[in-house]
Every structure is written in C-alpha cells, then in structure tokens.
Amino acid sequence: MPQFVQVTLAPSNQTIQVPYGADLKEVLHRFGVEFPCGGRGRCGACRIKVIQGVLPLSQACASILSKEEIDAGWRFACRHRAEQDITFELGQREAPVLTEHGAFHVEARDGTAVVIDLGTTTLVAQLLDLQSGHVLAVETALNPQAVHGADLMTRVDYGLRASGREQLTQSIREKLGELIHGLIALAPSTMDPPGSVLLAGNTVMHHLFCGLDLSPLSQPPFESSQLAARQFTARELGWELPYDPEVAFLPCLGGFVGSDILAGILATQMHDSEELIGFVDLGTNGEIAIGNRHGIFCTSTAAGPAFEAGGIEMGMRAATGAIVEVEKDQEKEVLCHVLGGGQAQGVCGSGLVDAVATGLDLGFISPSGRLRNDHRPFHLKDAVSITQHDIRQLQLAKGAIAAGISILLKEANAGPSDLSAFYLAGAFGNYVKSESARRVGLLPFSQEQIQSAGNTSLHGLKTVIFSETRPDFDPVLEKVRHVSLASDGEFQETFIKKTSFPENERLKD
C-alpha cells in the first residue's frame, strides 16, 4: 500500500499529493468545493467525473446516479477516499451554477472574469470562463487582517488606530492580488486573463478594501453614507495584471449588512419571488434577510465566533481530527463522527451544535443551558468534551441569530410557517444539520423549509458577472429596508429569551 497517492483536477491539472486513504471531501474542500448536504451523499452537488483511475461505486452513488452517469464515471466525492492515483473533473465547476430556483442564465461571451467573496475570516476567489460559465480555477485563503482581530468590531477598532486602516487595506489588497495571480497561473494557458474582477463582502470589508473612513461603523447607529458600489482599475489597487482590468465592489445595504447580502438576495432571487423567503449567512457576524418582490427586510447581528468554533475550549475548524457530527444511538450512547476517522482532537462549529442538541435530548443539558452533571464537561469522544463555557458561547450566538430572525419576521408581519424556504449560507450553514439547528432553537423553521444554499455571495456575484450588461441594482436596493437591531427596543428582551433552549423537541417561534 503506497504511503501517498496523487489527486489531479482536470482540466487545470492541479495535482496534490495526499496520504493514502485521504477523505476526498477534505481534500476537495481545500480546492473550494462545496458540500451542501454536509457530505451525507444526498444532494449530489459534489459530483466528480473520473477520467483516470478507479473509484469503486458507493451505495449513495448507486442509489442516486443513473446507470449512464455511473458508466460515464460520475461519483459523489464526499463518499470516497483516495486509494490510488486519480484524475477527475469537478461537476460543480462545469455546469452553470445552480441555485435552488434553477440555473443561472449565462450570456455567453469571450473572456474570463474573477469573482471574490471577501469574508471576515476567509477569502474565496474563482476564475470564470464567460463563454461556458465554468469555474476554471479556485483559490482560497484566510483573511490576513485576522491577526488584528477575529471579529468585525475588533477589526474596526484596529482600523481606527494611527495607520491601522492603511495596514488593513494594504494587507487585503495584497492578498487578493496574490490570489488573482494564483488563479491566472492555474487556468489553462489558452484562456485570456481576466477582463474584470467583482467583489462582495460585508460593510467593514467593503470599507477596508475601498480605503474608506471606518469611524461611522464604530459607534451607534453604525451607519455609513459610503455604501455605494466602488470601481477601481487593477493598477490603482497595486495589482499588476495584464490589460489592467476593472475591479468593482458591489454596493452595501446598511451599516453591517454588506454586499454579500445583496449577492445573497440575487442568488436566492428573493427580489423576484412572489413567496416569502429568507436566508441567513451564519458567520461571526450573522446577516439575515427575509422578504419577497414586494419588500425585503435585512439586518445583521453579532453572533461571535462560536459557529466557527472560536472561543470554544476544544474548538477547531472542520479539519482532520475535528468532531463534525454528534448523535445518539438506540441505547442513548453518544456517537461522534471524526473527520479523517482518527482520534478526536477537537470539535468544530457544526459538531458543537450537534453536541448540544444531543446533550439536550439526553437530558445532560437543561433548557437553561446548565450542565446537569454538577457542571462537569459533557464528554464526547477521546479527550474531547464541551464545557459550561462552550454551551454559554453557543447560547449567545444562537440567541443573537434567533432574535434577529424573530424581529425581521415581525417587521414582515409574518410567522415562520409563512416562508416557503429559509436558506443557510456560508460554510457553517453548509455543514450544520438542520435538525440540530432546530433542536437548539437557532432556527424556528420546519425541516422542509431549511435548505443549504452554499456560498450565496459567490453565486450572487456570478448572476451579475454572467449578465451581458451590469444589472441595475437600484430596483433591488429600493426594496430593501435595513432594520437596525441596536436601535430596536425589543431586541434585548428577545435576545435574552432566545438564549434558552426549547424545552423539548417542540420548536417555538
């Protein structure tokens, strides 16, 4: 048995050496591939087409894929391990990007473009073929500004220090320039260099990238007058790119509701929908929108880093050794799924939500969040446990999101059952189990309403970049009303109420 095998992605021929038996889900996650059903073999979004090598047929593939697809080499990456050298294409990058409401319309034209999701924690850049709509290359990185604070307010504080903003602006521009160069290097040599670059991000990221004054975002009411779209040339940003392409940042919607939410509205087609729909981007800063073509309410709420396992004693990102799923078996024993299958080293955000949901079901955790066993940590697996402090962190995070949803529903004069769908965006939203999110009282919606939407920021950017003429955002912006939770008299009371867990599996609004 070889110690390492080679995984090659066609058509870019990116090759990576991985340990024998490596989980393809973990390998491809590094290449920006999304796993909307969390790798449970249900959604088919992680399809890969084997070109060289063999991936034996898994049960999930056999039951969902057609015989023709199986014979053509299609498999679900999330159900396989790399046990020999293998070359494949990523289905996710081939078809025009799908939303839950259908395929994006691609106005075919020559050339390539770059779209960038500028997140507080992570950066994702994709190079797109404007002729086919295919993703030619993906680059991801951590936001280098994170050394100056994980959450937005710490970042803003740093930006208000002497030369702080200049440092933050320069570091993000430099990093994104590197990513674009990386994309160009990965693209097939026959492709043109990008003719344009389009970005979306939250309002603080927008201000920092564009070099704007942060002080309005540092104090109540946290509103800025500089929310408009911004255009630059690559050279103005210090990027030496062929033909000096135009770089544009989508407009923001409010103080802490950025263009990533505008992109999410475009991706879910909320602005065109007759039915009421909603979505939340569950990150350090939870951004929520609920509405339809007649009006959209949006807000943001400081959830803190618990959903990304930040501030959790044995918290870690969803990498090898992380407990990513927790459930109870028939004998009421706790079962944990560890990424990579080895010893558990920590728990990631989705694992934490699962663990608390399981602890509630087993009676180890009370609805108030108290650990019933004399506050002793709730043991999960190997040396990994969750503590009273961890549970409190999750209560604060989920309380903030649940309160934001509750207030937006009220603004929309609607109840949870009035929504035809509620989409979960962002990495955590991709992985968290909807049953667990409901059990801990994070989401008041039914299982059928809750759907993973992947990276809605990138999806929305693609709707813009693939249209022949740059869409007019004004009709969408006119429908949007930003609800400031900071000045909402009911927020504090609702938040405190929502920090508790539901008494039982009957979910409350």
Burial track 23-47 (b if 16+ CB lie within 10 A, e otherwise)? bbbbbbbebbbbbbbbbebebbbbb
The set of residues, in sequence order, having a beta carbon less than 8 Å from that of 374 and lying 6+ positions away, is: none
Closer residue to ligand FES (CB): 78 or 150: 78
Nearest approach in angstroms of CB 79 to ligand FES is 7
Q: Which is nearer to ligand FES, 78 or 298 (CB)?
A: 78
The tokens of 129 are what? 């073929």
Q: Give the integer Cα–Cα distance in Å for 425 and 309.
A: 17
Helix (H) or strand (E) holding 465: helix 456-465
**CB-based burial of residue 486 (10 Å sphere; 0-12 exposed, 13-18 middle, 19+ buried)?**
middle
The minimum distance between CB 64 and ligand FES, in angstroms, equals: 8
Choose between 80 and 230: whose C-beta lies nearer to ligand FES: 80
> What is the residue-wise DSSP string for 258-325?
-HHHHHHHHHHTGGG-SS-EEEEE-SSEEEEEEEETTEEEEEEEE--GGGGTTT-TTB--SSTTEEEE
| SS3 of residue 406 by DSSP | helix
Q: Which is nearer to ligand FES, 93 or 165 (CB)?
A: 93
Task: Count the neighbouring beta carbons within 10 Å of the beta carbon of residue 474.
Answer: 9
Write out the residues near ligand FES by the rule CB under 6 A.
Answer: 35-37, 39, 41-46, 76, 78
| Shorter beta-carbon distance to ligand FES: residue 66 or 219 | 66
CB of 43 to ligand FES, least distance (A): 4
CB of 58 to ligand FES, least distance (A): 10
297-322 as b/e: b if 16+ CB within 10 A: bbbbbbbbbbbbbbbbbbbbbbebbb
Q: Give the nearest distance from C-beta 118 to ligand FES in angstroms.
A: 25
Considering only CA atoms, which of 372, 326, 369 is closest in space to residue 498? 369
- CB of 50 vs ligand FES, minimal distance in Å: 15
Could you tell me if 200 and 117 are in contact, meaning their C-beta atoms sit under 8 angstroms apart? Answer: yes
Distance in Å, CB of 142 to ligand FES, minimum = 23
Query: Which residue shows structure tokens 């500089």?
Result: 226
Q: State which residue, 26 or 151, has the beta carbon closest to ligand FES.
A: 26
Smallest gap from Cβ 24 to ligand FES, in A, equals 10
Residue 76 or 364: which CB sits closer to ligand FES?
76
List of residues 6+ apart from 190 with CB closer than 8 A: none
CB contact set of 143 (below 8 Å; sequence gap of 6+): 118, 119, 120, 121, 122, 123, 172, 175
User: 44 or 211, CB closer to ligand FES?
Assistant: 44
Contact 297, 412 (CB under 8 A): yes
Nearest of 414, 411, 417, 481 to residue 443 by alpha carbon: 417
| Least distance between ligand FES and beta carbon 88 (Å) | 14
Write the CB contacts of 89 (distance below 8 Å, at least 6 apart in sequence): 9, 10, 11, 48, 49, 51
Q: Which is nearer to ligand FES, 89 or 129 (CB)?
A: 89
> With respect to ligand FES, which residue has the nearer C-beta, 430 or 499?
430
Distance in Å, CB of 455 to ligand FES, minimum: 14
